[in-house]
Chains A and B, each alone.
Chain A
Amino acid sequence: MNKRLLGIAEQALFATVVFVLILLAFADRLAVPVWLQPIGRMHPLFLHFPIVILLLTLVMEVFRFRPVRAGQTAETVSAYRQFLDALLLVGTLSAGLTVVMGLFLATEDDYSGTTLQWHKWSGVGVFLVAAFIYWARQKRWYNAPLARVGGLVGIVCLVGAGHYGATLTHGDNFLFEPLSRQAEPERVPLEQALVYDHLVQPIFEQKCVSCHNPGKLKGGLNLTHLAAVQKGGKSGKLYVSGRPDISLLLQRIHLPLEEKKHMPPIGKSQLTPQEAKLLALWIKGRAQTNGRVADLPATDSLRIIAAGFLAPSVSVESFDFDEPDEDMVRQLNTDYRTVARLANGSPALAVNLYNRANYAPDQLTDLSPVREQVVSLSLNKLPVKDADLKELSQFENLQKLDLNFTDITGKALEQLTPLKQLKTLALAGTSVRYEDLVAPLKAFKNLQTVALWNTRLTSAQIAQLQKSYGNVRFIAGFNGAAAEPIRLNPPQLKNASPIFTGSTQVDIRHPVRGVQIRYTTDGSEPDSLRSPILTAQTTISQPTQIKARAFKAGWYGSSTATFDYYRRTYKPDSLRLLLPFNPVHQANGPQSFFDGILGTFNANSPAWANNWLGFRKNEMALLSRFAKPVTISSVALRIMVEEETSIFPPGEVEIWGGPSPNELKRLATVKPRQPGGKEPHTLQTVTCSFGPQAVSWLKIVAHPLKQIPAWHPNKGNQALLLVDEIFIN
């Protein structure tokens, strides 16, 4: 071979290797210009060269180191090797070219998936192995085993690449398809799907036709096309239109699996429950042969099940109007009017108007430069009048119009009939009537949804509309009057604080309009008849527990709410705890006793512990001073009792009072009742009453329960005492 030519060819081979590696490394970002695509498409033609040449060469390579046989001269051996050299170079180069072409072709959309990957990498493998052999065989270390291994690997890759390439071109399982013919059903979007062609027939194709085809005709039945399906088999017609229960097809499907006549026979792939259901619904719906799935009502069972079988709907919608003027769109956007593109690159616009006070009809007329492009318009809750609808009727491409709670009446709806594209019309909360709708609805051929909640239409009228327009979904919404009554929520305390001085109005209210609140003060349950009604004049002047319930016609009465009112006449001017408290519950120090903020349950959770002052090791000993002597007759402690967490009432409470800290005398001692186990958690008041006494200094001592009673798991331990407020009267 010409030395020069050989050099060029070798250089070309090296360049091709680099080029291929680059293409492989960035394969996912490869963008082949249109004019190069024909090169890629020559791949299926060109690939035959490397297959033949390389196959030949590689086989020869395997036997390259065979010992020289009798009759062979050195020249013939050398010529053989040189010929092999040249052949390998040509084969490798053609393989390289094929790989490059293949990589170009792979960028076109039609190819993807694992087969492509296998093909690609085995093809690349052929090329690289061949290139490696070509390079290595000039080295001294290249020997017979290496030649054999290299040759065999190359051949395996070559066969693999060829096979997967054929699979790509001729389809999956091309080679063995005749042995196992089973077609994958194509997935059609719901909008385009036909009930028979795209739902029923594919089930037959997948599960039945391998036996029931013109070639096999088991039971004389052919299920490959509609006419044959309608004809039935030896045992008779397959189905009775409208009667799945007596149709042979379903009987066979539902026979027990081990039954001989069960179809598909045991061992074959069975119908899924969904498929069986689908066939039943198809027969029930009179086995229609050319109906569209999309024509079925949205709530139709067949349609709902069909959705699972069909491809997701095509969401890309193209519009045949021009792009709006970008500057105009920007200009039309104000604080109260949003004009936004439906999507990047879409000419369609969505317009939303807000703020009742700012609305004027010219906000719609302003839109006239873009009215061709507006496909969605929301005027929710704006004072839109009938007269404005005339303007709206010029938005010819409008698909969605929200007129909820506008001031329109039904009379003007006729004005909207030029809106041929309208799909969704929201009229909730307007004063449209049945008569206003019947005629204009005919004009909207594309209508899908009409919201009619809270209009003057009765549910019977809406049902009537639904009957006349099967394809439109009419939404009646929730009707409170027709719904079952439900229970009111309990009334709520609105007093700033349930702690009062002197007397207070009982400010208990309920958020629902027209509710009556009845109450009791004696601890009994209020009822809807005898208990007094709470009014603005209801006042109390003593600590009181009020139980209240709310009542309203059409509702069940509320559960009972209990409100404790506390009276506090005096507040000490200064106070001090003589012994430290339990560090877990420190609230806001002794000030918490008089801050008017009540604690609630769940005191062991840090978030709620804030208002409780706790005592366990030490007793609570509070010394307080009044600047002017006060006459008192009771001291009350608000405490929590929660046996489960060892929070108990104090074992004993002592009240001491006098003119100075050194002249205190005991005014009262109280031993509160202790819980007996399994009692609900409560917030209690421990009151110590005594004869009226003038004091300047007051000492309150409360001893936490020394020993928790024997029934408790923590028996014998010291209990925790929690106090949040103290009331001195």
Chain B
Amino acid sequence: MENEILEHGFNFNRRRFLSRLSLGLGSAALGSLLIPDLFGGSGTDDETLPVGVPHFAPKAKRVIYLFQNGAPSQQELFDYKPKLREMTGQELPPSVRGKQRLTGMTANQKEFPMVGSFVDFNQYGQSRAWVSDLFPYTAKIVDDLCIIKSMYTEAINHDPALTFLQTGSQQGNRPSMGSWLSYGLGNENKNLPNFTVLLSRGIGNGQGVYSKLWSNGFLDSIHQGVQFSKGEDPVLYLRDPDGMSREERRAMLDNLAQLNDLSYQSFGDPEIMAKVKQYEMAYRMQTAVPEVMDLSKESDDIIKLYGPDCLVPGTFAANCLLARKLSENGVRFVQLYHQGWDQHGNLPFEIAKQAKDVDQASAALVTDLKQRGLLDETLVIWGGEFGRTSYTQGKLTKDNYGRDHHPRCFTIWMAGGGIKPGMVYGETDDVGYNIIQNPVHVHDFQATVLHQLGLNHEKLIFKHLGRRYRLTDVSGNVVHDIIA
């Protein structure tokens, strides 16, 4: 009897369970009819979105990124803080600093005296934007610029911050912004690499720039940045050796391609085909690159516009001029790095020289693109990897001080490419330490750049090692306020 009751209970439960289960499953199935991809795995749209075509009509077709490596001090260049100047020498209120982590260089500092800019500011243009006297040429073009004073980042040291801005991740091994654009948009000019890199160095304290910053990461290696060097051969080993004719080179490449094709048939490694494509591009670059890199035909006006240093290979001015020429010839992403902005000490002396290095040529690039009617479709970006502190690093003397790394706010500018001209966006507090209005995170910035190029940063995806990657990782919002 006891057993029968138990049995009954079991049966009842099983029957109940099964009938309920079928009901539940039936409901789930009904629900799934309304949720097309419920059992199909998520995010299948990356496979259906074609690569190499903008997702929607782009405002900009190309980018020139004038990276100011080392982190230029916003207090001396764009972010005018009269209050900070008045308060020079006073201790930074702990409430302002909050729980901000500091670098090892100032963490042990006993006091944090604030220091205002040694240089004066003035308002310029119709936008009445404040620009420091260190940037007389930039001041003349403020009506073409959108100055963002409220950028912030997560890293506090150069390499992670730089890597973060370029790849969306602090650790590296991810594709750089230029590689993503190359992947997302494809070539405009098939005779030049889609992503080129130009380096220069100022007199100030320099920080390393490594090729990982223009790495293609897990993307196809045809999206890798190509570094143009300053010597006689801007692209190393591009010239045919003496005695080799163009026909011979062609025949050699054709035969090599056949061999490569054979090994691709047997191994199936896509990198083999990438290599063949690169050989072919190199062959075409043999004629295209000398034509682009030739500065001898630039008019006197252009030399005067960029400053005479634009004819000295390896200077920032020369790289700006080259950037214009490359961009004009359809290179999607021209990445410049100008080193030397890391003014931990001796700031007034060093920053003046750094500013002089870049001021005229940066402004000239914008003017030059504009006068060719290209500024509308070319996005120019100027900025570093983070900002600098409102307090001095080391000793504050009457005419000398330094500033440490400051990720909480920094200033960049953008021009052209459908960004609102003549605009100052975002605001920092009176001492230039915290953002009080319209913060722009690095991922927001990246999302905005992609948006201007017609790419949805949430849809520009690459699947690698079982997960999908984006330039903006899992965050980022397009800053619509600055879009014209």
Which A residues fall within an 8 A CB radius of B? Answer: 11, 14-16, 18-19, 22-23, 26, 29-33, 36, 104, 299, 301, 304, 307-308, 312-313, 315-317, 335-336, 338, 340-344, 346, 348, 350, 352, 354-357, 380-381, 400, 402, 404, 424-426, 428-429, 449-451, 453-454, 475-481, 483, 486, 488-489, 492, 511-513, 555
Contact = CB atoms under 8 A, between A and B. Distances in A.
A-B residue pairs, 10 tightest by C-beta: A477-B371, A511-B311, A451-B373, A426-B373, A453-B371, A480-B301, A22-B31, A19-B27, A480-B304, A18-B27
Given A341-B53, A477-B367, A31 B373 contact: no
Contacts of B126: 299, 301, 304
B36 A338 contact: no
B370 A477 contact: yes
Contacts of A346: 57
Nearest to B452: A315
Contact of A478 (B31, B38, B305, B420): B305
B127 interface: yes
The residue among A11, A22, A479, A512 with the most chain B CB atoms within 10 A of its own CB is A22
Nearest to B313: A511
A456 B304 CA distance: 19
Contacts of B27: 15-16, 18-19, 22
Interface in B196-252: none
A365 to B, nearest CB: 21
B372 interface: yes
Nearest to B318: A511
Nearest to B484: A313
Contacts of A338: 187-190, 330
Nearest to A298: B421
A480 B300 contact: yes
A19 B371 contact: no
A307 B484 contact: yes
B288 A424 contact: no
A375 to B, nearest CB: 10
B38 A307 contact: no
A29 B307 CA distance: 56
B23 A15 contact: yes
B301 A23 contact: no
B291 A454 contact: no
A350 B189 CA distance: 12
Contacts of A33: 34
A29 B368 contact: no
B191 A454 contact: no
Nearest to B420: A307
B353 interface: no
Nearest to B29: A22
Contacts of A14: 20, 23-24
Contact of A343 (B28, B55, B360): B55
B312 A451 contact: no
Contact of A355 (B56, B187, B191): B191
A36 B24 contact: no
B54 A344 contact: yes
A512 B24 contact: no
A336 B191 contact: yes
A492 B284 contact: no
B287 interface: yes
B307 A486 contact: yes
Interface in B159-176: none
Contact of B330 (A36, A316, A352, A425): A352
B35 A26 contact: yes
Interface in B2-48: 20, 23-24, 26-28, 30-32, 34-38, 42
B143 interface: yes
Nearest to A478: B305
Contacts of A31: 34-36
B273 interface: no
B50 interface: yes
Contact of A488 (B308, B420, B454): B308
A207 B273 CA distance: 65
B105 interface: no
B127 A354 contact: no
Contacts of A336: 190-191
B371 A428 contact: yes
B483 interface: yes
Contacts of B364: 478
A434 to B, nearest CB: 17
Interface residues of B, number: 73
Contacts of A488: 308
Contacts of A317: 57
Given A344-B50, A486-B307, A512-B311, A478 B484 contact: no
Contacts of B49: 344
Contacts of A402: 373-374
A476 B31 contact: no
A489 B312 contact: yes
B325 to A, nearest CB: 10
Given A449-B376, A489-B308, 12 more contacts: A29-B38, A31-B34, A317-B57, A338-B330, A342-B58, A343-B55, A352-B188, A354-B329, A355-B288, A477-B367, A477-B370, A489-B309
Contacts of B372: 380, 404, 426, 428-429, 451, 453, 477
The residue among B291, B308, B377 with the most chain A CB atoms within 10 A of its own CB is B308
Interface string B358-369: 001000100110
Contacts of A513: 300
B23 A18 contact: yes
A343 B370 contact: no
Contacts of A316: 56-57
Nearest to B308: A489
A488 B368 CA distance: 20
A400 B27 CA distance: 56
Contacts of A450: 373
B59 interface: yes
B373 A404 contact: yes
A36 B34 contact: yes
Contacts of B328: 380-381
Contacts of A357: 287
The residue among B291, B301, B372 with the most chain A CB atoms within 10 A of its own CB is B372
B303 interface: yes
Given A316-B56, A454-B301, A511-B312, A15 B26 contact: yes
The residue among B57, B374, B377, B422 with the most chain A CB atoms within 10 A of its own CB is B57
A340 B24 contact: no
B54 A342 contact: yes
6 contacts: A18-B28, A22-B32, A29-B38, A336-B190, A451-B371, A489-B309
Given A26-B38, A341-B53, A343-B56, A478 B287 contact: no
A447 to B, nearest CB: 12
B345 interface: no
Contacts of A453: 371-372
A452 to B, nearest CB: 8
Contacts of B330: 338, 352, 354
A491 to B, nearest CB: 11
Nearest to B306: A478
Nearest to A335: B190
B100 interface: no
A477 B480 CA distance: 29
Given A424-B373, A453-B371, A344 B56 contact: yes
B299 interface: yes
Contacts of A428: 371-373
B24 A344 contact: no
B428 to A, nearest CB: 18
Nearest to B360: A486
Nearest to A26: B35
The residue among A299, A340, A454 with the most chain B CB atoms within 10 A of its own CB is A340
A478 B371 CA distance: 7
Interface in B79-136: 126-127
B191 A512 contact: no
Contacts of B311: 511-512
A478 B367 CA distance: 7
